Amino acid sequence: MEHRRDRRYAHRLRVELRVGQEIVSVQSRNLSLGGVFIELGRALPIDTAVHLRISFDDSAEAFDASGHVRWCETQAGRVVGVGVRFDGLQGREAMRLRSFLESQ
């Protein structure tokens, strides 16, 4: 049985993922106060530092966060995405994310 710190919410949101100098547009599968699962057709090494810009639904507002890859998911031998744990959200960003999740 899995034990998570934060409740996950199923959300398909636009995500801009930056790894080093590379930037790719992807989608989230789910989101929590602690992190996000993003659909990505390739693996990233565990503990890879990433920066995320997550767009809240169709609004122009975006949420910025830094984090680290914690796991990769595969199906039928193919990578389908990665789980990213946020690096301790603070202040305004934490409040914005909490407000968005609680409104769902």
C-alpha to C-alpha distance for 71 and 53, rounded to whole angstroms: 19
Print the SS3 string covering 38-70: EECCCCCCCCCEEEEEEECCCCCCEEEEEEEEE
pLDDT at 1: 40
pLDDT at 83: 96
Domains, the chain, ordered by start: 9-102 (2.40.10.220)
The H or E element that residue 90 is part of is: none
Asked if 70 contacts 85 with a C-beta cutoff of 8 angstroms, the reply is yes
pLDDT at 93: 83
pLDDT at 67: 97
C-alpha to C-alpha distance for 70 and 85, rounded to whole angstroms: 6
Task: Determine whether 89 is exposed, middle or buried from the number of CB atoms within 10 Å of its CB (0-12, 13-18, 19+).
Answer: buried
Q: What is the chain's pLDDT, residue by residue, as a tens digit (104 residues)?
A: 455 577 888 889 999 999 999 999 999 999 999 999 999 989 999 999 999 999 986 666 788 999 999 999 998 889 899 999 999 888 888 888 888 888 87
pTM (two decimals): 0.88
C-alpha to C-alpha distance for 33 and 85, rounded to whole angstroms: 9
